[in-house]
Amino acid sequence: MTSYEATRAWADARDAADPLRSFRDEFLIPPHHGADSLYFCGNSLGLQPKAVRAAINDELDQWGTEAVEGHFRGPLPWLTYHETVREHLAEVVGARPDEVVAMNTLGVNLHLMMVSFYRPTAQRPAILIEAGAFPTDRYAVESQIRFHGFDPATALIEVEPDSEGGGISQATIERVLAEHGARIALVMLPGIQYRTGQAFDLKAIVDAAHARGCVVGFDLAHAVGNLPLQLHDSGADFAIWCSYKYLNSGPGAVGGAFVHQRHGKADLPRFAGWWGHDRATRFRMGPQFVPTPGADGWQLSNPPILALAPMRISLDIFHRAGMDRLVAKSRDLTSYLEWLVHTRLPETLDVVTPSDPTQRGAQLSIRVRAGRDAGRELFEYLMEHGIVGDWREPDVIRISPTPLYNRFSDCLGFTDAVVAWRDR
């Protein structure tokens, strides 16, 4: 059991002893009145790696000097550019390289995956999601249900939270599967619930859902680059994510998709495009679509090189830091933040996120005891003082110390500010 202290000297000493501390220097930290802000919003938009600017400039230069030949020439020919992120992306999500692809954005990938993996029948028309799902996920599944001619009133099943903080236990998921499983075509749950910060046990969900004959997909928007994922071993059928949150790949970054190896060569229905065609024969430009094996076979278009450049840089950072070390530091940082809140602010704040470190990532979702208006006031006070979290309706402040660029002293600074607000 680590013993924590709520002093500057203790936090600074922990930061000085942190084996990952130099990674912070690879990021641009947004300034606030001439000093570094305390940035806790990597769950929403990760910070910019300093090397990104040069990586984008390299591609602009390649375009300027090589033009169309840039597809074939130079250190990173555009024709295979998306493959430069494949190995490191696979490492981050615990997949085999041919199971992952960087393409499109999360919402687009969710629809493309459902084209292949949501195959409703009259007996089995339903999709299971969590109540209070992120809007895009709800809109996407509802529109897919309607698109197939079914009615969301009966074909959209939402698992309700069973804990005060809004958490959903595995037992409740299994109870819903026992009751409705025979009618469920697709189970579509998050790796981490965005509002509560709860992490789900992907393998346990897959096992329970497969036992009922359901297909399983995960939205890993808040999990990728945050949790120690083992997607291949989880047995999930597919997963999708965005890359601008913990993956630090920039606003509107290219998203990602995972398709389990057992589906990689299967003749699944899909919406096809030329970039998903067998690489060996793509440029024969024939009329017959032959999918390239693996997740690459779901690509539609040639990828946006200027948007992939930041991801290449960012994933290189993840590769050098290593998910194991990042997760170890993340658990320590977030546990420290939680300890500070419980110790210094027990009458002021409640933590909604599970306290079990294996049931959460970096994020703590925090509520102000005095209610929503006080919560909103605290949030604005923090922003004015250069402490950046985010606000999620109706009453949650999300604070996410991320292991690549946050420090123990940042967590202390957050609670210093809340104490000052409380005592003002």
Ligand X SMILES: *Cc1c(COP(=O)(O)O)cnc(C)c1O
Give the interface segment with ligand X, choosing from 132-140, 166-174, 317-325, 406-414 (CB under 6 A). Answer: 132-140
- Which lies closer to ligand X via its Cβ, residue 105 or residue 353? 105
- Which lies closer to ligand X via its Cβ, residue 78 or residue 241? 241
Residue 257: both structure tokens together: 């998709």
Kindly state the smallest distance separating residue 139's Cβ from ligand X, in Å.
Answer: 10
Burial group, residue 413, by CB count within 10 angstroms (0-12, 13-18, 19+): buried
Site for ligand X in 340-359 (CB under 6 A): none
Kindly state the smallest distance separating residue 401's Cβ from ligand X, in Å.
Answer: 18
Angstrom CA distances, 195 to 3, 65, 420, stand at 29, 47, 26
Give the interface segment with ligand X, choosing from 196-204, 218-226, 301-309, 367-375 (CB under 6 A). Answer: 218-226
Kindly state the smallest distance separating residue 364's Cβ from ligand X, in Å.
Answer: 16
Which residue in the set 222, 312, 329, 398 belongs to the binding site for ligand X (CB under 6 A)?
Answer: 222
Which residue in the set 39, 118, 150, 194 belongs to the binding site for ligand X (CB under 6 A)?
Answer: 194
Which residue in the set 49, 94, 181, 190 belongs to the binding site for ligand X (CB under 6 A)?
Answer: 190
Site for ligand X in 133-152 (CB under 6 A): 134, 136-137
Query: How many residues bind ligand X, per CB under 6 A?
Result: 12
Site for ligand X in 90-109 (CB under 6 A): 105-107
CB 187 within 8 A of CB 180: no
- Which lies closer to ligand X via its Cβ, residue 15 or residue 390? 390
- Which lies closer to ligand X via its Cβ, residue 221 or residue 412? 221
- What is the rounded CA–CA span in Å between residue 239 and residue 141? 14
Residues in the chain: 424
- Which lies closer to ligand X via its Cβ, residue 59 or residue 137? 137
Give the interface segment with ligand X, choosing from 175-183, 217-225, 279-287, 339-347 (CB under 6 A). Answer: 217-225
Burial group, residue 420, by CB count within 10 angstroms (0-12, 13-18, 19+): exposed
Give the interface segment with ligand X, choosing from 2-10, 131-139, 196-204, 295-303 (CB under 6 A). Answer: 131-139
Asked if 111 touches ligand X (CB under 6 A), the answer is: no
Kindly state the smallest distance separating residue 110's Cβ from ligand X, in Å.
Answer: 7
Angstrom CA distances, 45 to 249, 263, 271, stand at 9, 32, 30
- Which lies closer to ligand X via its Cβ, residue 99 or residue 219? 219
Find the angle CA(276)-CA(240)-CA(404) to the nearest 5 degrees. 115
Asked if 77 touches ligand X (CB under 6 A), the answer is: no
Give the x-and-dash track for 239-268 against ligand X (CB under 6 A).
Answer: ---x--------------------------
Asked if 221 touches ligand X (CB under 6 A), the answer is: yes
- Which lies closer to ligand X via its Cβ, residue 222 or residue 277? 222
Find the angle CA(54)-CA(28)-CA(414) to the nearest 5 degrees. 165
Cβ-Cβ contacts under 8 Å for 91 (sequence gap 6 or more): 318, 319, 323
- Which lies closer to ligand X via its Cβ, residue 44 or residue 62? 44
- Which lies closer to ligand X via its Cβ, residue 62 or residue 402? 402
Amino acid at 225: G
Give the x-and-dash track for 147-186 against ligand X (CB under 6 A).
Answer: ----------------------------------------
- Which lies closer to ligand X via its Cβ, residue 77 or residue 107? 107
Q: Name which of 113, 152, 140, 77 is nearest 308 in CA terms.
A: 77
Which residue in the set 26, 99, 219, 416 belongs to the binding site for ligand X (CB under 6 A)?
Answer: 219
- Which lies closer to ligand X via its Cβ, residue 181 or residue 191? 191
Point out which residues bind ligand X (CB under 6 A).
Answer: 105-107, 134, 136-137, 190, 194, 219, 221-222, 242
